[in-house]
Amino acid sequence: MSDVLKLKYKPLIGQTIPDLESFAESQGEKPFRGRQLFDWIYRQQVDDVSAMTDLSKPFREKLANVPIHPLKMITEDVSVSKQTQKILFELLDGNLLESVLMKEGNRITICLSTQVGCAVDCDFCATAKMGFIKNLTTGEIVDQFLQLQKMSEQKITNVVFMGMGEPFLNYKNSIAAADLLHHSKGINMAAWRITISTAGVVPKIRQFSEEQQPYKLAVSLNGTTQNQRLKTMPITETHSFSNLIKASKDYAYNSRNRITFEYVLMDGINDQPKDAEQLIQLLGSIECKLNMIPYNEIGDVYRRPSDEKIEAFMKSLKRAPFPVTVRWSKGTDIDAGCGQLVTSST
């Protein structure tokens, strides 16, 4: 079937049970056929219509005209350690995005993108160099999971919305994608295994809290003062550092969920022991954990601190009343580490 004909229909991945019930009715079928389709796509993760054996033959013939996947896998890069895979996908409109699969023992984590490019423009991030191109649809976000799961020999255990883009600037579709991942009649991933990250879009943090979203929240902090953070994260001009800390504190208090702060350590920018002391003062009263991420270099002016500086920084954090870990990014040899995802459209 030609691509032109297929584009007459919205891809099935990304559609909810009510969506698929309506679609089935539009094809002259009973609504329960839509529920069967939901089961095949999300719970059984089958994308071959001919294998959907409880659908009627006439319905299967109609489905031959309908695209299932909104994404097409283009290339796969595997790290030397074999523990990280970076996948390049093409959207139906020709734009490109990257996703990452990481293995650590029995823990299989995938990093999903929510935008092509990014509007936040963090100065140290490769994705920011692309500028903002478009928000991904719910289906384009979920399809990353479904295709990576098909590639993985083990079941995906954790999902982080930390790939290309700012999830909270594509809030509606990011939450809808998380809901599909969590749906009990579909993929059925536990909410606590799904983490949504933000660079600090304060109104959306508040909305996330007010809606009592069940998913985990991560905030990219990367500084200890307004001026320090503003040097690398222009979003701080719109959403101030003090408002970000207050919104994060309110979220942790009201949701009773521990918030994760991400802190990218950059040489000469935010890696002094006094910064560690300031972090203890800032975060000490918040139910949180702190992930320290030594900077992944992308060929610009920023550098990763020396091992000695990282060790000194961590030593200063030993008396912190919250858990602190150093998260060494995997797959940096294939540019799959935090802040390294970047594509160019064909």
Q: Looking at the predicted structure, is the pLDDT value of residue 320 above 90?
A: yes
Q: Which residue has the higher pLDDT, 241 or 294?
A: 241
What pLDDT, on the 0 to 100 scale, is given for residue 101? Answer: 94
338 classed as catalytic: yes
Q: What domains does the chain contain, in order, with CATH numbers?
A: 3-63 (1.10.150.530), 71-334 (3.20.20.70)
Q: Looking at the predicted structure, is the pLDDT value of residue 343 above 90?
A: no
Q: Looking at the predicted structure, is the pLDDT value of residue 46 above 90?
A: yes
pLDDT in tens, 174-192: 999 999 999 999 999 999 9
pLDDT in tens, 208-217: 999 999 999 9
What pLDDT, on the 0 to 100 scale, is given for residue 299? Answer: 66
Report the pLDDT averaged over residues 106-126: 90
Q: Looking at the predicted structure, is the pLDDT value of residue 221 above 90?
A: yes
β-sheet bridge partners, residue 117: 132
What pLDDT, on the 0 to 100 scale, is given for residue 280? Answer: 96
Q: Looking at the predicted structure, is the pLDDT value of residue 56 above 70?
A: yes
Identify the band that residue 328 occupies on the pLDDT scale cut at 50, 70 and 90: low
Q: Which helix (H) or strand (E) holds 220?
A: strand 216-220
What pLDDT, on the 0 to 100 scale, is given for residue 81? Answer: 78
The SS3 assignment for 127 reads helix
Place of tokens 């979003």: 235
Identify the band that residue 336 occupies on the pLDDT scale cut at 50, 70 and 90: very low
What pLDDT, on the 0 to 100 scale, is given for residue 68? Answer: 96
What pLDDT, on the 0 to 100 scale, is given for residue 128? Answer: 75
Catalytic, out of 29, 98, 140, 262: 98
Distance CA 310, CA 265 (A): 8
As a whole-number percent, the residues of the chain with pLDDT over 70 amount to 92
Least trusted range by pLDDT, from 20-34, 180-194, 306-320? 306-320
Report the pLDDT averaged over residues 282-293: 94
What pLDDT, on the 0 to 100 scale, is given for residue 300? Answer: 73
Distance CA 85, CA 103 (A): 9
What pLDDT, on the 0 to 100 scale, is given for residue 217? Answer: 97
- Give DSSP secondary structure letters for 305-327: PPHHHHHHHHHHTTT-SS-EEE-
Q: Which helix (H) or strand (E) holds 182?
A: helix 171-182
Closest CA to 14 of 140, 113, 125: 140
* Helices marked H in the chain: 3-6, 17-26, 31-38, 57-63, 138-151, 171-182, 202-210, 226-232, 235-238, 241-255, 273-283, 307-316
Identify the band that residue 120 occupies on the pLDDT scale cut at 50, 70 and 90: confident
> CA angle at residue 198 from 165 to 106, to 5 degrees?
85
> CA angle at residue 287 from 306 to 229, to 5 degrees?
45
What pLDDT, on the 0 to 100 scale, is given for residue 105? Answer: 87
The answer to whether the CB of 236 falls within 8 A of the CB of 200 is yes
pLDDT in tens, 240-270: 999 999 999 999 999 988 999 999 999 999 9
Closest CA to 195 of 120, 262, 122: 262
Catalytic, out of 118, 122, 125, 338: 338
111 classed as catalytic: no
Please give the mean pLDDT across all residues of the chain.
90
Identify the band that residue 80 occupies on the pLDDT scale cut at 50, 70 and 90: confident
